[in-house]
Amino acid sequence: MEKLVIHGGHKLCGSVKASGSKNSALPLMAAALLCCHGEIKLSHIPDLKDIRTFNKLLGYLGAETSYAENILSISTSNIRCVQAPYELVKQMRASIYVLGPLLARFGHASVSLPGGCAFGPRPIDLHLMAMEKLGASVTIEKGFIEATIQGTRLKGAAIDFPITSVGATGNALMAAVLAEGKTTIRNAAVEPEIVTLCRFLNAMGADVRGTGTPSLEIEGVETLNATEFTNIFDRIEAATLLTAGAITGSTITVTDVNPSQLTTILTKFEEAGCKVITDTDAITLESPDVLVRSDVIANPYPLFPTDMQAQWIALMTQAEGVSHVIDKIYHERFNHIPELNRLGAHIEIRDNEAMVHGPRQLTGTKVMSTDLRASASLVLAGLVAEGVTEVLRIYHLDRGYERIEQKLNSLGAAIARDSYQEFA
């Protein structure tokens, strides 16, 4: 296995580029399954473990792909299989995204129940409900979702989600674009990743209206065409890098971004005492002499994202006062807190609320990653901890951050990647 060895206490300075969005790239890759002919070219695709896993899944289904310099080419004209196997799906929950496209194009899909980060239940009921609304027969047999169309095409329908779900919205969109007739999706997710998926589907010839709103209307078409498309930046990676600047009392700039997609997070940085300067495609963060507490409640976009909750808790260990952090998306997403406490933090949990007492001088030790964003919080804590911090099981980190140690080192951090034996 691999670990990151972090020598804490270094100030950061300079500029770093944000990578392409993982959470946007994965549904774009799945949507390529809807195209019968030609080659789709996706630019600004990050080199990540999740991307490689999803690429393997596409290859298993029969797609032909090539990847170089963050450009992914996909041809799905020779798809020969509609079953997504457990061996690949267990590695990432986003594999569920192939359900809608396979069902819409081939009339049948067999997808293993998904795996992914180990925190709390994330039910797939909304995905299945959307497929059933569109006319599919859905059962779960021997650990697989079996979905079949009655007839030749899915039928347009009204889909009303009881709660907002990015994944279910994406799956419903991809199924509906080839359905016969009109589909409406109410309480649709409005995250930039869904907006980007809508734009991509329309670029292929779909008819999706209401992009960026909770009410989407889709008029089904018979076929979609190959196209070239550029992915958006990773707003969670960009915010994590800005947090690295804030936690180390530094001034840094993150480029290749769209600041409007980070409005809530940037406001929180300002509440914590940071100065934030935005340009068309860049954000500069200047840290204060003393960070002050800033409470957050993780909610769907455009509010504070659950994917930044762990990193914010790490930051608040250095702020004056007691900060309160609540996650209303995933109620058990606090596995990073015991590890942060091992570094010397003072964080309590009561009824899905984390109370972070600061500021605390953290001290380096060995800590273990439990999921993707928890890993990032431990790296951030290691940057400010006294001595050496070893973050173990960084395969979680590699799922969603492209060369993060290289990016932080370019700003002045001292991080090395090394191998270790888990139970030596």
DSSP E strand boundaries for 207-274: 207-209, 215-219, 228-230, 251-255
Q: Is 279 annotated as a binding residue?
A: no
In this structure, the chain runs to a length of 424
Q: Is 23 annotated as a binding residue?
A: yes
Question: Per-residue pLDDT tens for 325-365?
Answer: 999 988 778 989 999 999 999 999 998 899 999 999 999 99
Q: Give catalytic status of residue 117 as yes or no.
A: yes
Task: Check residue 248 and report its DSSP letter.
Answer: T
pLDDT (0 to 100) of residue 119: 42
In sign, the C-alpha dihedral spanning 267, 272, 273, 275 is negative
Catalytic residue among 35, 117, 198, 274: 117
Question: Per-residue pLDDT tens for 143-171?
Answer: 899 999 988 999 999 999 999 999 999 99
Buried b (16+ CB within 10 A) or exposed e, 277-311: eeeeebbbbbbeeebebbbbebbbbeebbbbbbbb
Cα 53 → chain centroid: 14
Q: Is 241 annotated as a binding residue?
A: no
pLDDT (0 to 100) of residue 118: 45
Look up residue 336 and give its two tokens.
Answer: 């990073």
Q: Is 398 annotated as a binding residue?
A: no
pLDDT (0 to 100) of residue 123: 67
Q: Which domains does the chain have, with CATH numbers?
A: 2-18+233-419 (3.65.10.10), 22-230 (3.65.10.10)
Q: Is 125 annotated as a binding residue?
A: yes
- Which pTM does this prediction carry? 0.95
**Strands across the sheet containing 182-186:** 158-160, 182-186, 215-219, 207-209
Distance in angstroms (rounded) separating the CA atoms of residues 45 and 348: 38
Question: Per-residue pLDDT tens for 47-63?
Answer: 999 999 999 999 999 99
Per-residue pLDDT of the chain (424 residues; tens, 9 = 90+): 999 999 999 999 999 999 999 999 999 999 999 999 999 999 999 999 999 999 999 999 999 999 999 999 999 999 989 999 989 888 888 899 999 999 999 999 999 987 544 444 446 899 999 999 999 999 999 889 999 998 899 999 999 999 999 999 999 999 999 999 999 999 999 999 999 999 999 999 999 999 999 999 999 999 999 999 999 999 999 999 999 999 999 999 999 999 999 999 999 999 999 999 999 999 999 999 999 999 999 999 999 999 999 999 999 999 999 999 999 988 778 989 999 999 999 999 998 899 999 999 999 999 999 899 999 999 999 999 999 999 999 999 999 999 999 999 999 999 999 999 987 5
